[in-house]
Amino acid sequence: MVSPSEITTVFSLLEKDHPLTMLEELGHYTPFQMLVMTLLSSRTRDSTTIPIVKKMFAKYPNPEHFVKMDLQELEEWLYGVGFYKVKAQNVKKLSGIILEEFHGKVPDTFEELTSLPGVGRKTANCVLAYTFKKPAIAVDIHVHRISNRLGWVKTKTPDETEEALQKLIPRDLWIEVNRLFVGHGQTICVPINPKCNICPVRKYCEYGRKRNL
């Protein structure tokens, strides 16, 4: 089992050349905007999501705007985002719930966040970590893949990975996992043909050490 000190070493090596993730780059946005952009970003490239949300929030920054907006107009704004029609419905619904049940404020607990339409474990954990700076491990495809390649976990699903990482990683580092692994997964530890030859953590990686490069 990987030790806490090795985890700290890997994180500090990844931190050195860390490219900003979308949620870091747009981290100054409001909790409502962060929630919506996290929801939209699932199964969608950042290069598609970023320009859409920047333009849309400049005109419509608050849940009040989305409650009033015609569904068709919202679908047009979100065109290009994966599953944009379902997401448009969810954004409208959750805006109404935030206004009616949470006095216009995005809730900051996992249970309340996952009670909102379209908000699953990953989105809730992203909002907790990036917006509220609370300990949470948001496991997306990058976190799931890299954790398994490093040999830290042997898991088949992101949910299993989240549970395994929670047992393995010191709680004060949970907040770092998503941003460091997403950045690494988008640039070096890509899904196909990871660039192990230039990877700063190859020495600590089960998969990378086995490769004959």
Of the pair 107, 194, the CB lying nearest ligand SF4 is at: 194
Considering only 63, 118, 183, 208, the residue that binds ligand SF4 (CB under 6 A) is 208
* Least spacing, CB of residue 40 vs ligand SF4, in Å: 27
Considering only 201, 210, 212, 213, the residue that binds ligand SF4 (CB under 6 A) is 201
Half-sphere exposure of 188 (CA within 13 A, CB side): 18
Nearest of 195, 168, 145, 181 to residue 23 by alpha carbon: 181
Window contacting ligand SF4 (CB under 6 A); options: 21-29, 30-38, 115-123, 193-201:
193-201
Cα-flanking dihedrals φ and ψ of residue 81, to 5°?
A: -75, 140
Of the pair 158, 194, the CB lying nearest ligand SF4 is at: 194
Nearest of 184, 181, 189 to residue 125 by alpha carbon: 181
- Euclidean distance between the first and the last CA atom of the chain, given in angstroms as a whole number: 26
Stated as kind and residue range, the H or E segment containing 148 is: helix 141-150
Would you tell me how many other CB atoms lie within 10 Å of the CB of residue 12?
13
Helix (H) and strand (E) counts for the chain? 13, 0
Binding string, residues 127-156; x marks residues near ligand SF4 by CB under 6 A: -------------------x--xx------
Distance CA 118, CA 42 (A): 10
Of the pair 37, 201, the CB lying nearest ligand SF4 is at: 201
Q: Does 202 bind ligand SF4 (CB under 6 A)?
A: yes
Binding string, residues 171-190; x marks residues near ligand SF4 by CB under 6 A: -----------------xx-
* Least spacing, CB of residue 196 vs ligand SF4, in Å: 3
Task: Write out the residues near ligand SF4 by the rule CB under 6 A.
Answer: 146, 149-150, 188-189, 194-196, 199, 201-202, 205, 207-208
